[in-house]
Amino acid sequence: DIQMTQSPSTLSASVGDRVTITCRASQSISSWLAWYQQKPGKAPKLLIYKASTLESGVPSRFSGSGSGTEFTLTISSLQPDDFATYYCQQYYSSPPTFGQGTKLEIK
Amino acid sequence: QLQLQESGPGLVKPSETLSLTCTVSGGSISSSSYYWGWIRQSPGKGLEWIGSIYHSGSTYYNPSLKSRVAISVDTAKNQFSLKLSSVTAADTAMYYCARTEYYFDVSGYTFDYWGLGTLVTVSS
């Protein structure tokens, strides 16, 4: 299975900050990467697929980049609603696998 | 708006079979564009894909669970179901059903609509 590693595990930031979360794959996955947002007690929500394509309805302050083994999720200006846990997921090969998550906390 | 709802027992005894059903509303499970899947989440293992099914009945399972998993579909009821046999405490998790986008280029899946999840505890 392809291992997905996210960093940092926890990130403290303030409203208005620009933040970046990194996801690394144990082998090349081209651009077959998705990002999800999960809030406490809720299911994950698909934000980005194909590394950089925003899912319909996702605010433009979210962006994704990368290819191969290294990927980033950037939030350009944090809003109160963005404090959540973020997961990356590869779908280059089966089984699809997820990163361990990055918890974005209010500083 | 598409909605998915998991249902089933919240407590299962060790060695028994976990059975869950996902009811889809606001759309047809027979849509040619999508698969339907189960994902679980536990503090120890994080998010783990269990398997996915097409409305034709074709199934795809995580090799780590394949020997214990069966996913089936009932198009008449717009439902799909999960059975996980010989459960242990390690199978305690939040179980989600989700609509699955299948990428034929790489035989890969993303999950764009999720149910609210149901907590299943394995304990005697």
Instruction: Give, in order, the Cα–Cα distances in Å from B43 to each of A92, B47, B55, B92.
Output: 25, 9, 31, 10
**CA distance linking residue B44 with residue A50, whole number of Å:** 28
Per-residue pLDDT tens over the stretch A58-86: 999 999 999 999 999 999 999 999 999 99
Which residue, among B109, B111, B118, would best test binding to A if mutated, counting the most A CBs under 10 Å from its CB? B111
Specify the 3-state DSSP secondary structure of A94: coil
Question: Are A91 and B103 an interchain contact pair (Cβ–Cβ within 8 Å)?
Answer: yes
Closest by CA position to B49, among listed B57, B40, B58, B59: B40
Per-residue pLDDT tens over the stretch B64-89: 999 999 999 999 999 999 999 999 99
Return the DSSP state at B67.
Answer: T
Angle at B98 between CA B92 and CA B101, to 5 degrees: 135
Let me know if B112 is exposed, middle or buried by CB neighbors in 10 A (0-12, 13-18, 19+). Answer: middle
Mean local confidence (pLDDT), A26-39: 98
Return the DSSP state at B89.
Answer: G
Question: Are A45 and B114 an interchain contact pair (Cβ–Cβ within 8 Å)?
Answer: yes
Interface membership of B9 toward A (CB under 8 Å): no
pLDDT averaged over every residue in chain A: 97
Work out the end-to-end distance of chain A between its first and last CA atoms, rounded to an integer number of angstroms.
35
Which stretch of DSSP H or E encloses residue B30? none
Phi-psi category of residue A58: left, alpha or beta, with phi > 0 → left and psi -120 to 50 → alpha: beta
The structure tokens listed for B24 are 């889809």
* Residue ranges of A 39-58 with Cβ closer than 8 A to chain B: 42-46, 49, 55
Per-residue pLDDT tens over the stretch B7-28: 999 999 999 999 999 999 999 9
Listed in sequence order, the residues at least 6 apart from B48 whose beta carbon sits closer than 8 Å to its beta carbon are A98, B39, B40, B41, B42, B62, B64, B93
